[in-house]
Structure 1
Amino acid sequence: MEWWKRNNQRLIQTNLRSSDASLDRQVLIEQLKVLNANVLLMNTGGLVSFYPTELPFHYRSPSLGSGDLIGDMVHLCHEHNIRFLARFDFSKIHESIYAEHPDWAYRSLDNKSVNYNGFVHTCVNGGFQKEKSLEILKEALDRYPIDGVFFNMFGYFTRDYSHNYHGICQCDSCKRMFHDRYGLSLPTQEDPNDPVFITYQQFKLETVHEMMDNIRNLVKSYGENIAVSTYTDDCVDIIKKESNTEIHRPYPLWEYSASENIQSVEGTWDEKTISNVCINAIGIDYRFQGVPTPQVEIRLIQALANGSGMDFCIIGVFKEYPDRKSLKAVEKIYSYHAENEQYYGNFSIFEDVILIKPGPHPTSLQLDEYLGLYRMLKEAHLSFRVVEQAAIKPHHLKRCKLIICPDLSNTCTLMDILSTSKKPIIWTGSTWKQTPNHDFNALFSIGFAGEVEDSRWSYIRNYPLDLFPSLSDTDWTMLDGPIVELKVLDGSIGCMEQMTVGTFGPPEMCQGNIRSGKYLGAITPDGKRQLFSIGLGKLYKRYGYPEHKYLILDRIKSIVQNPVIELESNEQIEVVFGVYSEDEPASYILHLINLAGFNGSTFFKSQNLRSLLLRIRLRDDETIVSVESLVSKQNVAYSKDKSTYSLNLDLVDSFEAIVIHCTRK
């Protein structure tokens, strides 16, 4: 089995500056040992060569001198049982190389190159990325017994590091290739409704795939045990994602970053692993200040809990790094993982629910809807699996009780899979209306669907009451965003009626909201197909009002009536329930992650949470024989009522991890 399939990485990524080429090799290896790291990801080539390259188009670090940083570090890493991943970045070339090969560069809308601090942006379709990158890779693979290659900033980029937008590349290579394939001129605007831009999106996918396929073939010619990794799922062994912070983004922060990144990969691809890097920096333009230590802890713990290895990144080297406050936390969690490695990387998340992630080119509305529903499920402590829409297959839906479709595009592939599945479905949002589909209407017993409208200043009528028991004291819920009127067929249930827009000022004139007769929810007679043409997830993500959450959760709970996990109250505890196959060291593993120190903008030290009552429902043929905490190394007491087990727990740290041993008849 290839080494990465053990899924137990404790990776440290040092994003070196050119001036770090003369770093003290022994000091770095000792730091890796202190942290219990078993993989090092280090700059090797592309923008800057950190080894004595002999290629004239490969810019060599002036600080390297007569040394060979990569040769030395590969040797030292292997001497200490640490894997070495070589980091390459072909997205830019030094300005001295650009002067000799201007045709390799990206060209902006006004036909200018982009020079950022002496490095010029290149194009995927130019000679450097298409051809010379393979020569650089070959040189490194010929010289060093590396364990894998990682490619940073691989693909099409239209912004520089100062967030300036330069537009769709207009270089001669792009123009020629696009015209040769499609007989079209390159688009100049990123308009998702423009057929030419839609074709260009496909062009990007095709050309990136071709480049990655060439890279993979070259790397694998040196051995199948050399991993390929970047930020795409195509042609790679390890999919890279990031839990990062950027001060220019709107708040609140996304507290489930690592969990969501990992679930979307682990739940979709059996043959790939994920390396979700915890970026220590608060932003690209402030790389030398780290995020709060509890935030680092949460990201690494979420990686553990969701069945992945761990990945931590700094800029430069530890010896001179000016913000070292989180290194003890990294050491603590990496050491915990090393001590309990037999229980990690070899389980899957139990799936009462399947949540489908929109793609491959989701809009911001679609992503917000998905993330809002993700948060709802987490706060309700429901155990769920995430599957990417772009890669969904029928086998993904076999074991769940419910499928949730957050504002998806109703593609033919997806409709074929859902139509043949016997599983209940809840679908939210209005994007489906962009491609009218008879099969979609039939699936949800819709006789008629209106046009997409804006719902600003109106309300939902939370009725019939028996559908929304959590809202018995709230008659109306605010509406905002796109909606679609639904007319259901005989026998189906119309719900979530829109109230008309009334006047809202002055206070003496707040009146006029009456029933419109327009329903935004449709439920089939058997209750198995439920369509809500509102972005309830988006509304919850943006505003956080519980009414939007309970409009969905009450419908989810009408289907998932006996969830595998129940935790009384406390929505700030993330619960992750993993299941092992028959030949593993335990039957189940349960993680409780303490998010009680998060206030939307800051992660504080977690507060102690005591006397948490947790219920676990197992199969009738399973009997628990022991429950052990991996954190305290103590046995955990439990009681049993039929097939339901109750545990009373204290959460006195950032997380708890419990292994459950069962006998199975």
Structure 2
Amino acid sequence: MSRLWWQDPFRMFQTNLREIDAGLDVEEVLDYLVEFGADTWLLSVGGILSNYPTDLDVQTRNPYLSQRASGDLVGDAVKAAGRRGIRVMGRMDFSKIDHRRAEQHPDWCFVDAAGDPQVYNGLTSVCPSGDYYQAKLFDVLDEVLDRYPVDGFFCNWMSFNEVDYSRAYRGVCHCLACMSRYAEYAPGESLPEDKGSPGYETWQRFAREILADLTGRIRDHLAQRRPEAPLVLGDRADIVFHEANNAVGRPLWHHRTSEAVSSAKTFRPAVPVLTNSVGFVDMPYRMAGEEPHHFAQYLVQAIARGANPSTYIMGTPKDNPYECLHVAGELTRFHRDHHDVYRELVPAATTLLVRPDQFKSGATREFQGLYLALLQRHVPFDVLPEERLGDIELGRYAVVVLPDLGPLGDAPAIDRYCAAGGAVVATGNSGIVAEEIQLECLPAVRRLASHDTEEAVRSLHLRTGYGVVPVVGAFDLVEPSARAEIGQRALSRAPYGPPEKCYGHLELEHAGRLRASYGEGRAVMLPWTVGRAYREVGLSAHRELVVDEVLWAGGQQVETGLPEQVEIVLGESVAGRVIHLLNRSGDADQRFAEPLPIGPSWIQLLDAESVELLRAGVRLPVIDGRVELPALGLFETLVF
């Protein structure tokens, strides 16, 4: 089969339409998309409302289609876009049905533990276990495919809706289909009521498998009907979907987009990722445009990690001309103008940072602290979800960093990787189960005790090459193996108030760092939460301690005069080696400010004779292994 359109870089624009938008001027929207730099239009097609004259009883025709002479928005859009060389993908939303159909088919609907449906603005949430998703969805797809040469599909909010639009928690679905399926999946176990119930983690795995199976069936169905029409959805779809968005009341993790794209591209480098960046502040505030500096980070982080950029607005550009659309268009056109640089752009870092499973909430702070430490010390890294550790070839990395992960699902694979010449840096309780050290590569015999509460580590310190540093979070006492090199010894806890009694810290034998060789490789054990300490306290000593161990293990640090506020992302594409320099000086409390100009500076590129700077529009020589860089604005892309 010839190469499919979505296997090359593309740029999307989504108009999330209200029912009153059915009469929109198709040519006017297409004019805007062409100027914007987009070549793909994600258009609301069917599901809750049909923007074409459906004949299926499971859908409702949009009554405002009467505003169109044709009575068919989808048909008009597909024809006009085809003349302009713009692809049209169908946004489908099967998550809800109207009251009439909910009354006719209660077996399709979400039901909570008390037996109540989930109703919001007159629409009833549907359960993925029921026949609406499992069967009727395919009838709708077929009707669209029979009528229109659409270029792909995206299914919105295909999930078990534990949380509604108001962020009210509604619990676990107890419809008959779920109860029957769960009884087969977990015989003898009761279906949990909510996230505080026993068995909730089992149910989460069950729900993920239901959705993964449904995703696979949709993907296979489309491949048979129209192979050139991909499915945009989870990490098993043709195109991996990530929505970059803001939310009132949610703490801002400034690196969320970059982390999400990296985790997808590290798992399956050849599979396209679409970062759909939301142009408004939050779902309840869809008329308020996002801060332009904030929105710019969505797109810059996305393209640097190899994702396709997409901009998502409410209604049409004429109705909602958000201020952030100016910078969105500028960055979209940059991606368009450098098509070959972004073609087949894949990760090229030699350090791998593993992202904890969602149930290991305490490990998230550890992960984020290590993320910041590596970024600031210019050690490029890729991110991989913990559950994918057994799915990739670890040998492409020099170092694998395990942040306080606890028991590991595929410990033998990590041991084999280390024995073959790789390196492992494990922090916190990674690879530890009760007393057992699960990873053979780690230089410890067993765990003797664990200080894992705030009070248990209060006043506990380590003596290090960067002075005395505090332990924050947790500290495990381990018995070193005979091959272990020990460092960072603990100082015993002592009173911390009143000051007259604040003394008595004694140096102990307990190690805060253990190093050793293992086969052809190396292993480092930091049996305390050094990443969490850096995330929560911000002492540079914590950062230096853990990055030093990554470098000792074989991690690659980029030599440069750039400050820690510049993120360095390594990649490779058909154009050659690609380095993105992201100016993070605008990262501020709960916001992104305008980044300050940085430089001029330099970066070491030992194996290049010259380098092209795409933003600056210049080609510079590499002299004595390094290139002199001009001042850095929002970002720069280096190709050599």
TM-score band, normalised by shorter chain: over 0.9
Q: Are residue 372 (structure 1) and residue 364 (structure 2) matched?
A: no
SS at match of 2:30: helix
Structure 2 matches for 1:514-529, cutoff 5 A?
Answer: 514-524=506-516, 528-529=522-523
State whether residues 486 and 521 of structure 1, in contact with CA within 8 Å, keep that contact through their aligned partners in structure 2: no
Question: Counterpart of 1:346?
Answer: 344
Q: Cα gap change, 1:414/1:20 in structure 2, threshold over 3 Å: closer, same or farther?
A: farther
Question: Counterpart of 2:62?
Answer: 61
Q: 1:128 aligns with which of 98, 109, 132?
A: 132
Structure 2 matches for 1:14-33, cutoff 5 A?
Answer: 14-33=15-34
Q: 1:211 aligns with which of 214, 228, 237?
A: 214
State whether residues 261 and 276 of structure 1, in contact with CA within 8 Å, keep that contact through their aligned partners in structure 2: no
Q: Cα gap change, 1:139/1:387 in structure 2, threshold over 3 Å: closer, same or farther?
A: same
1:420: how far off?
4.1
1:238: how far off?
0.5
For the residues of structure 1 that align with 2:23 and 2:192, how far apart are their CA atoms? 45
State whether residues 472 and 530 of structure 2, in contact with CA within 8 Å, keep that contact through their aligned partners in structure 1: no
1:540: how far off?
2.2
State whether residues 7 and 309 of structure 1, in contact with CA within 8 Å, keep that contact through their aligned partners in structure 2: no
For the residues of structure 2 that align with 1:633 and 1:308, how far apart are their CA atoms? 22
- Identical positions, percent: 25
State whether residues 390 and 410 of structure 2, in contact with CA within 8 Å, keep that contact through their aligned partners in structure 1: no
State whether residues 170 and 186 of structure 1, in contact with CA within 8 Å, keep that contact through their aligned partners in structure 2: yes
State whether residues 219 and 231 of structure 2, in contact with CA within 8 Å, keep that contact through their aligned partners in structure 1: yes
State whether residues 442 and 516 of structure 2, in contact with CA within 8 Å, keep that contact through their aligned partners in structure 1: yes
RMSD: 2.3
For the residues of structure 2 that align with 1:394 and 1:128, how far apart are their CA atoms? 32
SS at match of 1:87: strand
For residues 48-80 of structure 1, what are the alpha-carbon distances to aligned partners after superposition, in whole Å with 9 as ceiling and x for unaligned?
A: 211111111212222222621111112222221
For the residues of structure 2 that align with 1:121 and 1:198, how far apart are their CA atoms? 22
Q: Are residue 639 (structure 1) and residue 633 (structure 2) matched?
A: no
Q: Are residue 657 (structure 1) and residue 603 (structure 2) matched?
A: no
Structure 2 matches for 1:539-550, cutoff 5 A?
Answer: 539-550=533-544
Q: 2:591 aligns with which of 597, 602, 613?
A: 602
For the residues of structure 2 that align with 1:628 and 1:351, how far apart are their CA atoms? 20
SS at match of 1:648: strand
For the residues of structure 1 that align with 2:261 and 2:285, how far apart are their CA atoms? 26
1:511: how far off?
2.7
For the residues of structure 2 that align with 1:562 and 1:528, how far apart are their CA atoms? 15
Question: Counterpart of 2:611?
Answer: 627
Q: Cα gap change, 1:100/1:412 in structure 2, threshold over 3 Å: closer, same or farther?
A: closer
SS at match of 1:528: strand
Q: Are residue 160 (structure 1) and residue 159 (structure 2) matched?
A: no
Q: Cα gap change, 1:280/1:508 in structure 2, threshold over 3 Å: closer, same or farther?
A: farther
State whether residues 268 and 391 of structure 1, in contact with CA within 8 Å, keep that contact through their aligned partners in structure 2: yes
Structure 2 matches for 1:81-230, cutoff 5 A?
Answer: 81-184=85-188, 185-191=190-196, 194=198, 196-230=199-233
For the residues of structure 1 that align with 2:116 and 2:137, how far apart are their CA atoms? 23
Structure 2 matches for 1:528-607, cutoff 5 A?
Answer: 528-560=522-554, 563=557, 565-580=558-573, 584-585=574-575, 587-607=576-596
1:569: how far off?
4.8
Question: Counterpart of 2:405?
Answer: 408
Q: Structure 2: 5+ residue runs without aligned partners?
A: none
TM-score, scaled to structure 2: 0.93
Instruction: Single out whichever of 419-428 and 502-511 deviates more from structure 2.
Output: 502-511
Q: Cα gap change, 1:419/1:647 in structure 2, threshold over 3 Å: closer, same or farther?
A: same
For the residues of structure 2 that align with 1:637 and 1:390, how far apart are their CA atoms? 43
Question: Counterpart of 1:292?
Answer: 291
1:191: how far off?
4.8
Q: Cα gap change, 1:147/1:212 in structure 2, threshold over 3 Å: closer, same or farther?
A: same
Instruction: Single out whichever of 7-16 and 407-416 deviates more from structure 2.
Output: 407-416
For the residues of structure 1 that align with 2:437 and 2:21, how far apart are their CA atoms? 61
Q: 2:497 aligns with which of 496, 501, 505?
A: 505
2:410 is aligned with what amino acid? T
For the residues of structure 2 that align with 1:162 and 1:293, how far apart are their CA atoms? 26
TM-score, scaled to structure 1: 0.89
1:85: how far off?
1.3
Q: Cα gap change, 1:520/1:60 in structure 2, threshold over 3 Å: closer, same or farther?
A: farther
SS at match of 1:481: coil
Give the length in aligned residue pairs.
628
State whether residues 394 and 417 of structure 1, in contact with CA within 8 Å, keep that contact through their aligned partners in structure 2: no
For residues 195-237 of structure 1, what are the alpha-carbon distances to aligned partners after superposition, in whole Å with 9 as ceiling and x for unaligned?
A: x33432332233222322321222112122110111x212x11
Q: Cα gap change, 1:131/1:562 in structure 2, threshold over 3 Å: closer, same or farther?
A: closer
Instruction: Single out whichever of 50-59 and 160-169 deviates more from structure 2.
Output: 50-59
State whether residues 480 and 539 of structure 1, in contact with CA within 8 Å, keep that contact through their aligned partners in structure 2: yes
State whether residues 424 and 553 of structure 2, in contact with CA within 8 Å, keep that contact through their aligned partners in structure 1: no
State whether residues 497 and 518 of structure 1, in contact with CA within 8 Å, keep that contact through their aligned partners in structure 2: yes
1:33: how far off?
0.9
State whether residues 493 and 525 of structure 1, in contact with CA within 8 Å, keep that contact through their aligned partners in structure 2: no
1:616: how far off?
2.2
State whether residues 389 and 414 of structure 1, in contact with CA within 8 Å, keep that contact through their aligned partners in structure 2: no
Question: Counterpart of 1:312?
Answer: 311
Question: Counterpart of 1:233?
Answer: 235
1:338: how far off?
1.7
State whether residues 365 and 535 of structure 2, in contact with CA within 8 Å, keep that contact through their aligned partners in structure 1: yes
For the residues of structure 1 that align with 2:443 and 2:614, how far apart are their CA atoms? 49
2:113 is aligned with what amino acid? L
State whether residues 428 and 528 of structure 2, in contact with CA within 8 Å, keep that contact through their aligned partners in structure 1: yes
For residues 283-306 of structure 1, what are the alpha-carbon distances to aligned partners after superposition, in whole Å with 9 as ceiling and x for unaligned?
A: 222222222212222221222222
1:632: how far off?
2.4
State whether residues 435 and 446 of structure 2, in contact with CA within 8 Å, keep that contact through their aligned partners in structure 1: no
For the residues of structure 2 that align with 1:451 and 1:201, how far apart are their CA atoms? 31
Q: Cα gap change, 1:544/1:72 in structure 2, threshold over 3 Å: closer, same or farther?
A: farther
SS at match of 2:599: strand
1:461: how far off?
1.2
Instruction: Single out whichever of 160-169 and 427-436 deviates more from structure 2.
Output: 427-436
State whether residues 503 and 509 of structure 1, in contact with CA within 8 Å, keep that contact through their aligned partners in structure 2: yes
Q: Cα gap change, 1:334/1:484 in structure 2, threshold over 3 Å: closer, same or farther?
A: same
1:318: how far off?
0.9
Question: Counterpart of 1:487?
Answer: 479
For residues 2-27 of structure 1, what are the alpha-carbon distances to aligned partners after superposition, in whole Å with 9 as ceiling and x for unaligned?
A: 43553412111111122212222121
Q: 1:648 aligns with which of 628, 631, 636?
A: 628
1:32: how far off?
0.6
For residues 472-500 of structure 1, what are the alpha-carbon distances to aligned partners after superposition, in whole Å with 9 as ceiling and x for unaligned?
A: xx22x222223321110123123333333
Instruction: Single out whichever of 609-618 and 32-41 deviates more from structure 2.
Output: 609-618
1:160: how far off?
0.6
Instruction: Single out whichever of 178-187 and 84-93 deviates more from structure 2.
Output: 178-187
Question: Counterpart of 1:303?
Answer: 302
Q: Cα gap change, 1:491/1:658 in structure 2, threshold over 3 Å: closer, same or farther?
A: closer
Q: Cα gap change, 1:542/1:242 in structure 2, threshold over 3 Å: closer, same or farther?
A: farther
For the residues of structure 2 that align with 1:420 and 1:303, how far apart are their CA atoms? 30
